[in-house]
């Protein structure tokens, strides 16, 4: 109803405007125009009040659409920038960790190849990781892999051209030759999928919690003297031939990210000698 009334007013104003235009050459036209303007001013103001909001809404709608497009573009650029910053941080962290590992081995750095962990085997009981170095980088099966502080974390199990699989010490198929300081008692360090324990330690051997476990060169499969772990618990039973000993690894095997592969070591090339404590 209101819309029809406004349309009628607009039509009337248009007709009056045309009439004034036609009468403009006449002498009394100016007076008529002045009176009509005074009479129609309220109506024109009312129509303007109705039309102006609609015009403003249409204008603002266009501006809002432009702002929405601009906002979406800014969000996309921000997400891209945040992604690049995160990638640079990860790259810097990896470089810092690799530098720390190389610094720990000192003058023997040329015997090691830095590598990054790509993926971890999620299967229960299997403690394996895949690293980004393989045959093309001098990696061979059986080579030791060390982490922070030159601590043994595992042994290379399989090698491809560009990647390798490392069996961590806690894997249920892992078993390495070690000795216990300071008694120099030889033993086998085995994993069960989550923890470490020593096997074949005689019941009468002197072993105490806190003693350090080192790699042994017996069998020529490992270089001597690599830090491996620390005795956690010792249990003896009168009827057993061997002690039950658990070991805490010195490396955090659950959070291995950067490692060094001892590419300068060839398994089986060593004589069965032991490291000096």
Work out the percent of the chain whose per-residue pLDDT is above 70: 66
Q: Under CATH, which architecture does the 112-261 domain have?
A: Beta Barrel (2.40)
Residue 144 sits at φ, ψ, to 5 deg, of -70, 150
150 Cβ contact list (under 8 Å, min separation 6): 104, 105, 226, 227, 260
- pLDDT tens digits, one per residue of 28-64: 445 555 655 565 556 556 556 655 665 665 566 667 7
Task: List beta partners, residue 128.
Answer: 167
Residue whose C-alpha is closest to residue 151's, from 231, 246, 274, 262: 262
Q: What is the pLDDT of residue 185?
A: 94
SS3 state at 243: coil
Q: Taking the CB of residue 266, how many other CB atoms lie within 10 A of it?
A: 12
- Indicate the range of 121-125, 128-132, 233-237 predicted with least confidence: 121-125
Residue 175 gets the label, from left (phi > 0), alpha (psi -120 to 50) or beta, of beta
269 Cβ contact list (under 8 Å, min separation 6): 220
Residue whose C-alpha is closest to residue 127's, from 190, 172, 176: 172
Residue 29 sits at φ, ψ, to 5 deg, of -65, -35
Q: What's the pTM?
A: 0.65
- pLDDT tens digits, one per residue of 184-231: 999 999 999 999 999 999 999 999 999 999 999 988 899 999 999 999
Q: What are the sequence ranges of the domains in the chain? A: 2-65, 112-261
H-state helical runs in 106-225:
none
Q: What is the pLDDT of residue 96?
A: 62
CB of 169 closer than 8 Å to CB of 152: yes
- Indicate the range of 4-8, 52-56, 144-148, 272-276 predicted with least confidence: 272-276
Average pLDDT on 125-151 reads: 93
């Amino acid at each position: 109803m209101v819309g029809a009334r406004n349309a009628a007013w607009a039509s009337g104003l248009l007709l009056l405007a045309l009439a004034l235009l036609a009468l403009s050459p006449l002498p009394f036209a100016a007076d008529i125009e002045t009176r009509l303007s005074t009479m129609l001013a309220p109506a024109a103001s009312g129509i303007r009040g109705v039309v102006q909001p609609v015009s403003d809404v249409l204008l603002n709608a266009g501006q809002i659409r432009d702002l929405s497009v601009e906002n979406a573009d800014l969000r996309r650029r921000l997400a891209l920038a945040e992604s690049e910053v995160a990638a640079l941080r990860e790259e810097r962290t990896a470089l810092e960790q690799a530098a720390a590992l190389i610094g720990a081995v000192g003058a023997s750095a040329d015997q090691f190849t830095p590598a990054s962990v790509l993926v971890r085997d999620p299967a229960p009981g299997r403690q394996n990781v895949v690293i980004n170095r393989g045959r093309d980088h001098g990696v061979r099966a059986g080579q030791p892999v060390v982490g922070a502080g030159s601590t043994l974390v595992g042994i290379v199990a399989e090698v491809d051209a560009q990647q390798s699989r490392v069996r961590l010490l806690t894997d249920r198929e892992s078993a390495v030759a070690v000795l216990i300081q300071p008694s120099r008692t030889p033993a086998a360090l085995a994993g069960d999928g989550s923890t470490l324990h020593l096997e074949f330690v005689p019941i009468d051997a002197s072993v105490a919690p806190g003693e350090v476990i080192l790699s042994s060169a017996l069998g020529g499969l490992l270089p001597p003297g690599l830090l491996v772990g620390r005795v956690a618990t010792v249990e003896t039973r009168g009827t057993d031939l061997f002690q039950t000993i658990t070991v805490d690894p010195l490396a955090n095997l659950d959070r291995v990210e950067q490692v060094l592969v001892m590419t300068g070591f060839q398994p089986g090339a060593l004589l069965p000698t032991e490291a000096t404590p």
